[in-house]
Amino acid sequence: MQIILGDITKQEVDAIVNAANTSLLGGSGVDGAIHRAAGSELVHECRLLGGCKIGDAKLTKGYRLPARFIIHTVGPVWRGGDCGEPELLAECYRKSMQIAADKEFESLAFPCISTGIYRYPKALAGEIAVKICSEQIQNNGGPQRVIFCCFDRENYEIYERILSNYS
């Protein structure tokens, strides 16, 4: 597992993860950036998927992105933490890692799901991201390279602190 500070749409990996909404038809934040960079063919494929539930994940091609594929997942909106948010966020990471393992992807980059417009506290979200990915690597053996792509320095420093506690 590694951390980078940068734009996920620039990552040359087998797949990047999108923090989408249940429509899968695009939005703002990282979702908007991914749709802009991938081009309009992406929304055509997304229309065929019939949306996505919170905590679930769906695969599309990457189109004009350097990444070959996109795993679209829908994080929970933060409502104080007692509405199942931790379990739903964990499911986003688990399902995304499962798809990557099933497809035998070697490299996968995640944004900090739910920590923007959906207001999930960054440190709590980071703990879940690292814990679930670490478990999935141990249980499924893949993908070999998991990149936490932080867009802001605050998230980057949070992940540095969390990852220093993992080997």
Catalog residues that contact ligand AR6 under the rule CB under 6 A: 7-9, 19-21, 27-31, 33, 75, 111-118, 149, 151-152, 155
Judged by CB, which is closer to ligand AR6: 92, or 100? 92
The least distance separating ligand AR6 from the CB of residue 51, rounded to whole angstroms, comes to 12
Report, in Å, the least distance between residue 162 CB and ligand AR6: 15
Neighbours of 62 (CB within 10 A): 20
C-alpha closest to that of 100 among 63, 130, 124, 73: 73
Is residue 51 within 8 Å of 24, Cβ to Cβ? yes
Cβ closer to ligand AR6: 102 or 151? 151
Based on DSSP, count helices (H) and strands (E) in the chain, helices before strands: 5, 6
Residue 14 bears catalytic tag: no
Question: Over 54-73, what HEC string results?
Answer: CCCEEEEECCCCCCCEEEEE
The rounded distance, in Å, linking the Cα atoms of 72 and 92 is 9
CB of 158 to ligand AR6, least distance (A): 10
What is the distance between the alpha carbons of residues 109 and 148, in angstroms, rounded to a whole number?
6
From 7, 14, 31, 56, active-site residue: 31
User: Closest CB to ligand AR6 among 30 and 104?
Assistant: 30
In angstroms, what is the minimal distance from the CB of 119 to ligand AR6? 7
CB nearer ligand AR6, residue 44 or residue 102: 44
Q: Looking at the annotation, which residues are catalytic?
A: 31
